Amino acid sequence: MDPSLSVSDITSSTKPLSEASSPPVMDLLSEPASEASSAPMVDLLMEPASEGSSAPMVDILSEPASEASSAPMVDLLMEPASEGSSAPMVDLLMEPASEASSAPMMNLLMEPASEPPKPDIDPLADIINDTPLSEGKTPVAAMPQEPPSDLFDDEPSELFAEPRQSNTANDNYNEHPTDIFTEEAITTLPSAVSTVSVNSKTNGVHSDEEEPDIFAEATVELSLDSPRNDRKKKEAAKPSASASAPAPSVSASASKPQPKTLEELIIVFHSTGDGMNAYMAYKVSTQTTLPMFRSKTFTVRRRFSDFLGLYEKLSDKHTLNGYIVPPPPEKSIMGMTKVKVGKEDNSSAEFVERRRAALERYLQRVVFHPSLLQDPDVREFLERDDMPRAHNTQALSGAGFLKMINRATDSLSKMTIKMNESDVWFEEKLQEVEAEDQQLRKLHIMVDSLVGHRKELSVNTGGFAKSVAMLGSSEDNTALSRALSQLAEVEDKMEQLHQEQAASDSFCFAELLADYIRLLGSVRASFDQRMKTWQRWQDAQNMLQKKRETEAKLLWANKPDKLQQAKDDITEWEAKVTQYERDFDRVSATVRKEVLRFEKEKARDFKKQIIKYLESLLQSQQQLIKYWEAFLPEAKAIA
Amino acid sequence: MLFDRPRAVNVDLQTDATLQVDISDALSERDKVKFTVHTKSTLPNFKQNEFSVVRQHEEFIWLHDSFVENEEYAGYIIPPAPPRPDFDASREKLQKLGEGEGSMTKEEFTKMKQELEAEYLAIFKKTVAMHEVFLCRVAAHPVLRKDMNFHVFLEYNQDLSVRGKNKREKMEDFFKNVVKSADGVLVAGVKDVDDFFEHEKTFLLEYHNRVKDASSKSDRMIRSHKSAADDINRIASTLYTLGTQDSTDVCKFFLKVSELFEKTRKIEARVAADEDLKLADLLKYYLRESQAAKDLLYRRGRALVDYENANKALDKARAKNKDVLQAETSQQVCCQKFEKISESAKQELIDFKTRRVAAFRKNLVELAELELKHAKGNLQLLQSCVGVLKGDT
């Protein structure tokens, strides 16, 4: 299923939904249905839709508008965020979660659906630009402690949370994964520390471009895998709260996990520019309909080392089983120092943004991995307000050193293992991966060099533009002088163009390659893991062989006292061999599955990113044409 | 492309059938280039109407220097001498390529080789064009075209046996230049009686500096543009390798993108080459031509100073009543010389301006048209490729 397609499906099909028409829902739902191959799901999904499409839906649109109660909403959000995790709040939030049987699914449908009423902007664009904040709650008046923040001016239109409250009405606080869109999210770029603080309270910092993908991914990946993985939990969690559904369990799994994980990055300088102690904090805002989370949207603050810590934890646990654990971006002491020193120049802003985007992609890869998403550490990372600081991620720390040694011994033992590969598939794949790694590295260097040259070109074009402007000013033929200064302007614009192009070379292309170079490292790690388990199995077999030999010797020597011991050993090792063999088979199967999944993702990522890159090239050519077309008559006017 | 440029610079020169010169052929031999200078003329002092001779760069320089040294031509802008052919850089690269042959794949090697050959050819063409421009300028000049040395240069079908300057001569030249520029500063400091020349003087001083700056900046710009194009080229070949070794369905995608980059880099390289041809070369030519114009002003300034000095000497001689006649003659000679220079110099400077404006117009229009052509070609490639790729997904 094509991600981009499904995005448009969701948005376009849900548009009519809000206008109280159910049929489009079918489109949307039919897709996951085919994937999950569960027919009932469709029915189930239609239910809420039809429900919603009758009265409540209309309410959604009308209620908030009339009430325009933006303030309290914010309050509710601010509370937990500022206080850390306040218990009552959590309770409140959890209740609906456990009850909200079909609600999540509805969210999926209704969220975008509620957007059309908004001005005339494309719903998708809204999602992209804005900050989803969620929390609809009826007893609005109950907790208005703080003045409405102006960030949420445009929010009434988004308050589509209401209707669902009417559904699950008995709770005081129904939280909903509603998007409250604040334009402000975009402006919270690194520099704006003040806004940032506001943001941190209001909690809904979301960002940008990646979101559409998320929608897409949610439908593609999770609809595919979550039924299998989530079903039990969900069944257990909420079999039939709003039991209108004919097939609750299916509905639960179909109530599609739609986690959107977005980070927004904030640089917080320690007190007053305390140079080297400064660190960057990132806001990770999640929006989800997965029942395993306590609420539907939440934001936490994480440091870079936390991301690394998450990776360490995941990799410790899952690499053993042959999973491909997406690696985080590397620590860059150079870049960080530059930022810390506080040069407000382009390169540090670029570094900050590059890292933010890289972390975002990293986290998305984790979250969209069906198995990793189930990991409690992931959940904790996304949800928990007071994360213990990750240790041992420092490059130069003692633990780091130990890790290095471990890695060294690992690679040594890797070299010593001589595996006679029984499975051609693995052999070929590994070779392929290695060759690809090599080429990608090469390509990455070249793209980097292109970026460098493009930047150089930009600078030199700027220099030339100035020089031509000077030449024009000293030229004493008026028409020629004019034409030259026009040329200078054209070159000026070209400077800009080259610079932008260099940025997209780097963001769209080089970053993609860097990601995949790292990912290929993980792929190789999973191959290595498979090899290690194989080795263990072989070792066990050898051991068993030895034990049998001892037994034979003992039999021969007729020493019955030790014979029993030997027999026990044999049974023990036989068990181990079977166990290890099973392990090996399991890991092999996982690796194979993971590699296939990886390849699919890779193909999709490359296609998406490179098309995006080509489009940026296309745009700059269009600009170029415009500039030169404007210049041509000027040149002809020289007389 | 080869013979495009000379005419670009000489647009305003009367195309006169009585004397037409061009370089019909050129041969690159190790470190020298042999130009075949082809002449068509109806002038009576040539033995034939059409003939060709083989000349080398040094002979061009000799001709140029003979103009400069000729007092008769003090009042003219002497067409600037063509720059020395410089193949060192590209030859060096070619050598490096040969050394690195082992470390490259065959495709990379052939590609690099083609690239370098193209580069070599471009420099070669440029060199030829610059030499031709010089000859055309001389041939079109109302006075210089009648020069004996020029005719010898065109007609004498053997080696002119000019040799390169030896070390002593080079040193002498160097000192001459130092003296000249010191003197130039002195002379330039003298206020001109004639407003036209005063204006031209300030203009040329400034113009020369700026055109120099613009020329070096444009070179830099073009160089980085070329490097970027080279990068794209290498990216294309790596993508190709990536596409051929991958077994999944991305490979088709990579191959397609590689194909696209292969095409766009060609366009990108063409853009750089055309900017070089239309912009950098133009600026470079006017750098030299404005220097020649400055030299003319210097000679005139020098003559003016001489004239004034002769006047003073005459006054002194009259006062002392000694050597009056001698002083009078020398004063008259100086006066005549100055007036002669002034007369022709004025026309020359006006011509210089017309020529300049016309050349800039032509080149800038062509530049804009080429840029548009390339950008449109590029755009089309990108559009169709994106279309295909999107269709695939």
CB atoms within 10 A of CB A21: 14
Question: Is A625 within 8 Å of chain B by CB?
Answer: yes
Token pair listed for A519:
């990912």
How far A44 CA lies from chain B's nearest CA (Å)? 31
Q: Best mutation site among A1, A453, A497, A619 for testing chain B: the one with the most B CBs within 10 Å?
A: A453
**pLDDT beyond 80 at A389:** no
B9/A194: higher pLDDT: B9
CB–CB of A610 and B253 under 8 A? yes
The chain A residue lying nearest B280, using CA atoms, is A464
| Among the listed residues A193, A194, A181, the one whose alpha carbon sits nearest the alpha carbon of residue A126 | A181
Taking the Cβ of residue A629 and every Cβ of chain B, the question of whether any pair is shorter than 8 Å is answered with yes
| Whether A617 contacts chain B with CB within 8 A | yes
- Among candidates A428, A439, A621 on the partner chain, residue whose Cβ is nearest the Cβ of B238: A439
Closest Cα in chain B to A486:
B364
Contact B134, B64 (CB under 8 A): yes
Joined together, the tokens standing for residue A404 give 């290095």
Q: What is the pLDDT of residues B263-304, one digit of tens each?
A: 998 899 989 989 998 899 999 999 999 999 998 988 888 888
Q: Given B368, B389, B390, which is nearest A628 (Cβ)?
A: B368
Q: Give the gap in angstroms from C-alpha A563 to the nearest C-alpha of chain B.
A: 55
Residue A523 CA to residue A42 CA, distance in Å, equals 36
Nearest CB partner across the interface for A450, out of B228, B365, B367:
B228
Residue B48 region by backbone torsions, left for phi larger than 0, else alpha for psi between -120 and 50, else beta? beta
* Residue to substitute from A481, A509, A610, interface B, most B β-carbons within 10 A: A610
The pLDDT, as a whole number, for residue B127 is 87
Alpha helices of A505-559 — where are they, by DSSP H?
Answer: 511-557
**What's the pLDDT score for residue B167?**
74
| pLDDT, tens digit (0-9, with 9 covering 90-100), for A126-143 | 333 333 333 333 333 334
Determine the straight-line distance between the first and last CA of chain A, rounded to whole angstroms.
Answer: 61
Most confident of A14-23, A558-567, B68-77: B68-77
The least confident of A174-188, A422-436, B52-66 is A174-188
- DSSP per-residue string spanning A604-630: HHHHHHHHHHHHHHHHHHHHHHHHHHH
- Name the phi and psi angles at A280, rounded to 5: -100, 140
Q: Is the pLDDT of residue A242 over 50?
A: no
User: Are A172 and A142 contacting, i.e. CB atoms less than 8 angstroms apart?
Assistant: yes
Would you state the pLDDT for residue A243? 32
Q: How many CB atoms lie within 10 A of CB A337?
A: 13
Contacts with B, A 345-384, CB within 8 Å = none
Distance CA A299, CA A382 (A): 8
Per-residue pLDDT of A139-157, as tens digits, reads 333 343 444 334 334 434 3
Q: What average pLDDT is seen over chain A? A: 62
Query: Lowest mean pLDDT: which of A112-126, A337-351, A356-370, A566-580?
Result: A112-126
B228·A477 Cβ contact <8 A: no
Checking if the pLDDT of A549 tops 80, the result is: yes
Mutation target to probe the A interface, by most A beta carbons within 10 A, among B221, B241, B353 is B221
Q: Does A474 touch chain B (CB under 8 A)?
A: yes
- pLDDT at position A110: 33
The backbone torsions φ and ψ at residue A216, rounded to the nearest 5 degrees and listed phi first, read -60, -50
Average pLDDT of the segment spanning A497-525? 90
Nearest to A453 among B227, B242, B386 (CB): B227
Please report residues of B whose CB lies closer than 8 A to that of A453: 224, 227-228, 231
Rounded Cα gap, residues A324 and A518, in angstroms: 11
pLDDT given at position A340: 55
pLDDT at A225: 30
A406-429: average pLDDT: 70
CA atoms within 13 A on the CB side of A491: 27
Supply the pLDDT for residue A319.
Answer: 78
Residue found by looking up tokens 């051929």 in the block: B244
Of the two residues A252 and A372, the one the predictor is more confident about is A372
Pairwise CA distance, residues A482 & A480, whole Å: 5
A464/B382 CB distance under 8 A: no
CA closest to A479 among chain B residues: B357
CB of A488 closer than 8 Å to CB of A465: yes
Judge contact between B35 and B55, C-beta under 8 A: yes
| pTM of the complete model | 0.67
Minimum mean pLDDT among A263-267, A570-574, B26-30: which range?
A263-267
Residue A285 vs residue A414, higher pLDDT: A285
**Chain A partners within 8 Å of B392 (Cβ):** 607
pLDDT of residue B163: 62
CA distance A511 to A112: 30
Nearest to A635 among B246, B257, B365 (CB): B365
Paired tokens of B199: 């204006």
| Range with lowest mean pLDDT among A268-277, A533-542, B203-212 | A268-277
**CB-CB contact of A25 with A49 (8 Å):** yes
The whole-angstrom distance between B262's CA and the closest CA on chain A is 14
The one-letter amino acid code at A533 reads T
Contact B235 A456 (CB under 8 A): no
Interface test with B, best of A213, A458, A505, A628 (most B CBs within 10 A): A628
Hey, CA dihedral for B313, B315, B319, B322, is it positive or negative?
A: positive
Per-residue tokens: A104: 């999540």
**How many C-beta atoms lie closer than 10 Å to residue B199's C-beta?**
13
pLDDT at A358: 81
Stretches where chain B sits below pLDDT 70 are: 1-17, 160-165, 188-189, 246-248, 392-393
The answer to whether the CB of B188 falls within 8 A of the CB of B85 is: no
Q: How many CB atoms lie within 10 A of CB B330?
A: 18
